[in-house]
Amino acid sequence: MTMDVFRGSLVQDSPPQALGTLLAALWWDAKGDWARAHGLVDELETRDGMAVHAYLHRKEGVPSNADYWYARAGTEFRRNELADEWEALVAALLR
């Protein structure tokens, strides 16, 4: 899947079934459903899962919780702007 196809799928009511959990979380986040996105990553202990988790808590406005998850995942995907971070996460997960 390409970024354009991923973005295009955001007009649908639910994410494409072929998406993995992390991309589905970012899909729900882009649709404005933070709680659903967080629910998908809340218990994931993979590096990528923790990176998405960190992003979501940063977006939520809870920097201490975000910093905890960034410390566990690393800050490779962290960007100054949330939109840029979302883009970096999606691009990496699509590879």
> Residue 89 — very low, low, confident or very high, per pLDDT cuts 50/70/90?
very high
Q: Express each pLDDT in 13-45 by its tens digit.
A: 999 999 999 999 999 999 999 999 999 999 999
Residues near 19 by beta carbon (within 8 Å), at least 6 away in sequence: 1, 27
Q: Express each pLDDT in 42-71 by its tens digit.
A: 999 999 999 999 999 999 999 999 999 999
> Residue 1 — very low, low, confident or very high, per pLDDT cuts 50/70/90?
very high
User: According to the model, what pLDDT value does residue 52 have?
Assistant: 98
Helices 21-30 and 34-41, packing angle to 10 deg: 160
Q: Is the pTM of this model over 0.75?
A: yes
> Residue 84 — very low, low, confident or very high, per pLDDT cuts 50/70/90?
very high
